[in-house]
Structure formats: C-alpha cells, structure tokens
Amino acid sequence: MNINQNFGVALHVLTYLSFMESDFITSNDLADSINTNPVIVRIIAKKLANNGLVEIKRGRGGYKLNKDVNDLSLYDVYVAIYDNQIFRTKHSPNVNCPLGAKMTSAIDCVLDGASSEVEELLKKYHISDIKNNILNKGEIKK
C-alpha cells in the first residue's frame, strides 16, 4: 500500500487550511503544526495545487483551500499525492520461473478488487469529517 506519511501530511495541510477560511497560510506555519520541514509541505502543497485542491500565492503568500471541505474526499487527496492505484506490485519476478511468470497477474487479480474497495471507502470520508472530529474531539461516525 502506498499510504505513507505524505498522505497524513496532506490531510493535515488541508484540515489546517479548512480552519483558516480564506487566509493564506505559509509553509512555515503549516510545518510547525505538522512538525516537519517546510520543504516537505511545499512539495505536498504543490501536488495538492496541481490537482486544484489548494491555491498557492507565490512569494510570502502561502496556501489556502480551493475546495469546500464537504466536497473534498480522502480519495481526492490520495489521488493528488500518488495516483489512482491504491495497491500495486513493485517487484519484477523471474519470468523464466513457472511461478514467477504468473505471479504479477495473480497478485494483481486479487489486489484490483481490494483496491476498488479501499477507493470506495476513501470516497466516503471527507476533510470535513476530520475537521469535525477535531471540533468534537471524538471519532468520525459514518
């Protein structure tokens, strides 16, 4: 699975921006909240901007949310940070091995179904759910 800290950072960035309404927030401010380097924030924010999720103001401007939090699914965020394939096999089996020659397609056959289920689950949750969870200090209920 490709979900790593970049996905968490992206969710943090978008949720933080959702609390700031129309203000532009600097990468330094975001990095302080996330406890990471501002360069990491800028790299992730650029991917989010390339997918229309945030607006970038160059110079001393910063970032602001470009989409309503109720319309911004976790799937949208995932696709912005990675691509639309949740699971993928990255190994290159030996094609001269009877088992290895069939392994990638056999794995993909199983993971394609799992990937579809994860995609549908990510589409059910939105940045607004995370924001509400923070406001309510409880769990997301769906």
For residue 105, tell me if it sits in a domain: no
For residue 141, tell me if it sits in a domain: no
Dist. CA 6–CA 27, nearest whole Å: 15
Q: Which residues, other chains included, contact 132 with Cβ-Cβ below 8 Å and sequence gap of 6+?
A: 140
For residue 49, tell me if it sits in a domain: yes
Question: The CATH number of the domain where 79 resides is what?
Answer: 1.10.10.10
For residue 96, tell me if it sits in a domain: no
Question: CA dist 6 to 9, 11, 24, 58, Å?
Answer: 5, 9, 21, 22
Q: Tell me, what's the pLDDT at 85?
A: 67
Q: Tell me, what's the pLDDT at 12?
A: 97
Beta bridge partners of 54: 65
With CA atoms as reference, report the closest residue to 125 among 69, 84, 68: 69
For residue 93, tell me if it sits in a domain: no
**Dihedral angle, C-alpha 57, 11, 30, 41, nearest 10 °:** -70
Q: Tell me, what's the pLDDT at 2?
A: 42
CB atoms inside a 10 Å sphere around CB 57: 12
The whole model's pTM is what?
A: 0.82
For residue 34, tell me if it sits in a domain: yes
For residue 58, tell me if it sits in a domain: yes
Question: CA dist 40 to 24, 31, 56, 58, 62, Å?
Answer: 18, 8, 15, 16, 14
Give me the average pLDDT of each 10-residue run along the chain (142 residues). Answer: 76 96 92 96 96 92 94 94 72 89 87 85 96 80 52
- Tokens representing residue 95 in the block: 């094609």
- Dihedral class, residue 6 (left if φ above 0, else alpha if ψ from -120 to 50, else beta): alpha
For residue 113, tell me if it sits in a domain: no
Domain of 132, in residue numbers? 5-87+126-136
CB atoms inside a 10 Å sphere around CB 39: 10
Domain count of the fold of the chain: 1
